[in-house]
Amino acid sequence: MRGTLFAALLAVCPGLAWAGDLTVSDPVVPLAPPGLMAHSAYMTLTNAGDVPRTLVGVAADGYAMAHIHRSDDSGGVATMSAVDAIAIAPGQSVTFAPGGLHVMLMHPAAPQAEGDTVTLTLQFANGEALPVTATVRRLKHGS
Amino acid sequence: MTRVLAFMFCLLAAPLWAQVQGVELDEPVALPDFAFSNELGESFTQADLDGRWTLIMFGFLSCPDVCPFTMGNLEAAVSETGMRVRPDNVPQVVFISVDPARDAEHVSDYAKFFHPDFRSFTGARDQIDTLIEATDSFYRLMTPDQTGYYEVQHSASVSVIAPDGTLRAKLQPPFDPGLTAEFLAQLQIKYRKARS
């Protein structure tokens, strides 16, 4: 029954991905300036299940590589580091957002336009792979 | 009831007040001569600072997260500043790439993506180092990975330069547009008072 509900939800919310008790909401690839080697994807991952889940990698169609990265501001200097694994406890969410966790998309095969989609495959420690469709759109900045 | 409302207001507003959007320098810092350019043949030199407010951000075009987020916030902050100051006091925004090897060929496209009036440049290493040092900024090209890609660490702050060409303040993350605009408007008021 729950599966049917989720399937129905998926049909009406194309931005929502679901595998087991994991859901991904608001997957987005901000439209990037032209000619860049790297840009980012963001989303929120929620573990609605009873067991901890661990995100260990990501692949992106149309890119040579994709990595999980974290931006930090250490003493006023913007730094980035690769993240090997992200544990998501039952009932918890992890948010990928500008200035923090991001999926770094490297070497795009083609330039992107607003409205395009990027298929990301989230890889988990238990071997599960969760496909996510992220939409390319201009990020709105505001107070 | 009033007290409860006041308390609730404080709870809501306190995190905003606690955010520091900018730091004013104790003393203005004069900037040395510098020269940057882009592939369109446009230049950015000390003379371009004369008579208007300028915001300078250092970064690199392959910066996947922090640079586009900062530039997007600057676009919103400058737009909000435009509602608070005279049109000729709306700051010009300049992005300087510290990564000319990868960026020189198409550096001009970058800033324009965020606003048609924003401009981006790069230049010779000694020019980059001169302006970095003069603005008390920082960058470091990291070791390339197996694909040849390298990251660049750089100052997250944005330099605020007054119409007399001196460095006056640094804007800091998270660059909340409204609060940044308020900081810039207050800085301009202080600047004019000090000179009148």
Facing residue for B156 by CB, picked from A35, A36, A77: A77
Please determine, for residue B157, whether its predicted confidence score (pLDDT) is greater than 70: yes
Report residue B130 as tokens: 């001169």
> According to the per-residue pLDDT averaged within each range, which of A106-110, B65-69, B117-121, B174-178 is highest?
B117-121
Q: Which residue ranges make up each domain of chain A?
A: 2-130
Measured between CB atoms, does B73 come within 8 Å of chain A?
yes
- Rounded mean pLDDT, A92-115: 94
Please determine, for residue B168, whether its predicted confidence score (pLDDT) is greater than 70: yes
H or E segment and range at residue B70: helix B66-81
Note the pLDDT tens digit of each residue in A56-92.
Answer: 999 999 999 999 999 988 878 888 888 999 999 999 9
Question: Which residue bears the tokens 């609730």?
Answer: B8
Q: What are phi and psi of B13, to 5 degrees?
A: -85, -25
- Rounded mean pLDDT, B20-30: 90
DSSP letter at A138?
P
- A130 forms beta bridges with A122
Measured between CB atoms, does B150 come within 8 Å of chain A?
no
CA A140 to chain centre: 18
pLDDT at position A14, please?
A: 45
Domain-located, residue B3: no
Note the pLDDT tens digit of each residue in B66-114.
Answer: 999 999 999 999 999 999 999 999 999 999 999 999 999 999 999 999 9
pLDDT at position A143, please?
A: 57
In A67-86, the residues whose Cβ lies within 8 Å of chain B are 69, 71, 73, 76-80
| Residues 6 or more apart in contact with residue B88 via CB below 8 angstroms | B52
Note the pLDDT tens digit of each residue in A7-51.
Answer: 555 444 544 565 568 999 999 999 998 888 899 999 999 999 999
Please determine, for residue A3, whether its predicted confidence score (pLDDT) is greater than 80: no
Domain-located, residue B19: no
In angstroms, the CA B119 to CA B96 distance is: 9
Indicate which CATH number applies to the domain containing B59.
3.40.30.10
pLDDT at position B57, please?
A: 97
Please determine, for residue B16, whether its predicted confidence score (pLDDT) is greater than 90: no
The yes/no answer to whether this complex scores an ipTM above 0.90 is: no
Amino acid (one-letter) located at B118: F
Domain-located, residue B7: no
Chain A residues close to B109, C-beta within 8 Å? 33-35
Domain-located, residue B6: no
CATH entry 2.60.40.1890 includes domain A2-130: yes
Please determine, for residue B12, whether its predicted confidence score (pLDDT) is greater than 60: no
CB B71 within 8 A of CB B97: no
Q: Can you give the pTM of this predicted structure?
A: 0.85
Query: pLDDT-derived band of residue B33, with 50, 70 and 90 as boundaries?
Result: very high
Of the candidates B20, B24, B21, which has an alpha carbon nearest to the alpha carbon of residue B166? B24
Chain A residues close to B76, C-beta within 8 Å? 141-143
Q: What are phi and psi of B119, to 5 degrees?
A: -130, 150
Integer Rg of chain B from CA = 18
Please determine, for residue B10, whether its predicted confidence score (pLDDT) is greater than 50: no
- Rounded mean pLDDT, B131-135: 97
Please determine, for residue A136, whether its predicted confidence score (pLDDT) is greater than 90: yes
- Rounded mean pLDDT, B19-34: 90
Minimal Cα distance from B113: which residue of A? Answer: A33
CB contact under 8 A, B69 and A76: no
Please determine, for residue A2, whether its predicted confidence score (pLDDT) is greater than 60: no
The total number of structural domains in chain B stands at: 1
Give the domain range for residue B94: 30-195
Please determine, for residue B3, whether its predicted confidence score (pLDDT) is greater than 70: no
In angstroms, the CA A9 to CA A44 distance is: 17
In angstroms, the CA B138 to CA B123 distance is: 16
Q: What are phi and psi of B41, to 5 degrees?
A: 85, 5
CA B51 to chain centre: 17
Measured between CB atoms, does A37 come within 8 Å of chain B?
yes
pLDDT at position A76, please?
A: 82
